[in-house]
């Protein structure tokens, strides 16, 4: 029971990171009906920017609480700004000129942008992994069980607490933005019909650009959390995380923010539980098998809505 509880905490942490990335996928798809396959690499840019800025600031785990908090706030702001700039440029270069073309064109363009970002970071920062010493350390022991001659502790680290709580806060904030603000109303109008939204006075181009920026902000924050949790990043980390987050968005129901978060949590739980109780080599197989089974019986995903074709 104690081992299961520990894996549950680990799965919740990993799933929260996947969920944050998946929200960016689902927001873009909800408006323009296309998948931004460069979104995972925007996540990578956020984690790599975190590494670079932390290295420049020289922050360590012994720097003192006030210095650490101040430095990490600056790191988050810079990472979000850099990722938002990249995603804004992707929308302007890879999506806006192809918005009225056949659907495969922007898809191919987005894959091309993904490769461009990967290679840019690989050349600029070399291909090796970028590790650091843990900065946020410490944990709470929730319970202890004696196993043989050793104690097994169920722990919740401070970094896990930060990831889980910040994910809940961000999901609440973005749900409020979508449902209660003028920007959210404009986004929902564009989701229904971009031409009609334009006729009603909504600036469609600006709304889509802001959506890409908001998605990048979430991806950058997820990249920051990923780097602070695992204390390592590289130029290829966005590919695997992006595929898992895209899977989470589809599993939860593409276009649904709560669905994206639910899908992220499920993917995180499946990966962690399978790795804990079965062969770790097949954890990805297990995750995609669950996705296939869900889509067979629920093609719209867990919380998605059936797509109504306009005539």
**pLDDT at residue number 118:** 93
At 29, which helix (H) or strand (E)? Answer: helix 2-32
**pLDDT at residue number 110:** 85
The number of residues in the chain equals: 311
**pLDDT at residue number 309:** 54
Backbone angles phi, psi at 166, to 5 degrees: -65, -35
247 part of a folded domain: no
Q: How confident is the model at residue 98 (pLDDT cuts 50, 70, 90)?
A: confident
Q: How confident is the model at residue 212 (pLDDT cuts 50, 70, 90)?
A: very high
Residue among 41, 22, 43 nearest 110 (CA): 41
> Which is higher by pLDDT, 227 or 102?
227
How many percent of the chain have pLDDT more than 90?
A: 50
Identify the weakest region by mean pLDDT among 75-79, 160-164, 222-226, 299-303.
299-303
List, in order, residues 6 or more apart from 228 with CB less than 8 Å away.
50, 72, 135, 136, 159, 162
**pLDDT at residue number 178:** 87
Residue among 43, 6, 95 nearest 222 (CA): 43
245 part of a folded domain: no
Question: Is the predicted pLDDT of residue 81 greater than 90, yes or no?
Answer: yes
Report pLDDT digits (tens) over 138-187.
899 888 877 667 777 889 999 999 999 999 999 899 889 888 899 989 98
Question: Is the predicted pLDDT of residue 26 greater than 60, yes or no?
Answer: yes
Cα–Cα distance between 303 and 134 in angstroms, integer? 37
Q: Are strands 232-233 and 150-157 parallel, antiparallel or unpaired?
A: unpaired
Are 151 and 144 in contact by the 8 Å Cβ rule? The answer is yes
**pLDDT at residue number 45:** 95
242 part of a folded domain: no
106 part of a folded domain: yes
299 part of a folded domain: no
Q: Tokens standing for 54?
A: 């932390």
Q: Which stretches of the chain are assigned E, i.e. beta strand?
A: 130-131, 139-147, 150-157, 232-233
Q: Tokens standing for 50?
A: 């975190």
**pLDDT at residue number 156:** 93
Q: How confident is the model at residue 301 (pLDDT cuts 50, 70, 90)?
A: confident
49 part of a folded domain: yes
Q: Which residues of 38-72 are buried (b: 16+ CB within 10 A; e: fewer)?
A: bbbbbbbbbbbbbbbbbeeeebeeeeeeeebeebb
Q: Tokens standing for 155?
A: 């722990």
> Which is higher by pLDDT, 308 or 172?
172
Q: Tokens standing for 33?
A: 């009906």
**pLDDT at residue number 297:** 87
Provide the whole-model pTM.
0.92
**pLDDT at residue number 234:** 92
How many percent of the chain have pLDDT more than 70?
A: 97
What mean pLDDT comes out for the span 10-31?
Answer: 90
Question: Is the predicted pLDDT of residue 265 greater than 70, yes or no?
Answer: yes
The alpha-helical segments, DSSP class H, found in 181-309 are: 182-192, 194-199, 204-230, 237-252, 257-277, 283-297
241 part of a folded domain: no
9 part of a folded domain: no
DSSP state at residue 140: E
Backbone angles phi, psi at 298, to 5 degrees: -135, 80
Looking at the structure of the chain, the number of domains it has is: 1
Question: Domain residues for 120?
Answer: 21-236
Dihedral sign from CA coordinates of 71, 168, 192, 104:
positive
Q: How confident is the model at residue 31 (pLDDT cuts 50, 70, 90)?
A: confident
């Amino acid at each position: 029971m104690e081992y299961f509880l520990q894996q549950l905490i680990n799965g919740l942490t990993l799933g929260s990171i996947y969920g944050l990335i998946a929200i960016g996928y689902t927001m873009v798809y909800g408006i323009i009906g296309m998948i931004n396959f460069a979104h995972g690499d925007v996540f990578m840019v956020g984690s790599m920017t975190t590494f670079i800025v932390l290295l420049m600031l020289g922050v360590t785990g012994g720097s003192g609480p006030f210095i650490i908090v101040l430095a990490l706030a600056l790191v988050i702001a810079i990472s979000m700004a850099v990722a938002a700039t990249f995603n804004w440029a992707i929308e302007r270069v890879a999506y806006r000129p192809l918005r009225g073309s056949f659907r495969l064109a922007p898809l191919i363009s987005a894959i091309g942008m993904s490769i461009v970002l990967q290679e840019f970071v690989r050349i600029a920062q070399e291909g090796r992994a970028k590790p650091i010493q843990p900065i946020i350390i410490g944990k709470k022991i929730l319970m202890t069980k004696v196993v043989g001659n050793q104690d097994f502790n169920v722990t919740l680290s401070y970094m896990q607490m930060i990831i889980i709580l910040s994910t809940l806060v961000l999901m609440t904030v973005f749900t409020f933005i979508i449902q209660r603000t003028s920007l959210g109303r404009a986004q929902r109008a564009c989701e229904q019909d971009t031409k009609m939204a334009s006729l009603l006075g909504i600036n469609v181009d600006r709304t889509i650009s802001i959506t890409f920026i908001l998605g990048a902000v979430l991806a950058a924050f997820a990249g920051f959390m990923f780097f602070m949790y695992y204390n390592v990043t590289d130029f290829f980390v966005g590919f695997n995380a992006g595929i898992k987050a895209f899977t989470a968005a589809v599993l939860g129901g593409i276009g649904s923010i709560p669905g994206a978060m639910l899908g992220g949590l499920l993917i995180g739980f499946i990966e962690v539980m399978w790795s804990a109780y079965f062969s770790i080599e097949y954890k990805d197989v297990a995750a995609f098998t669950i996705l296939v089974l869900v889509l067979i019986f629920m093609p719209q995903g867990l919380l998605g809505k059936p797509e109504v074709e306009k005539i």
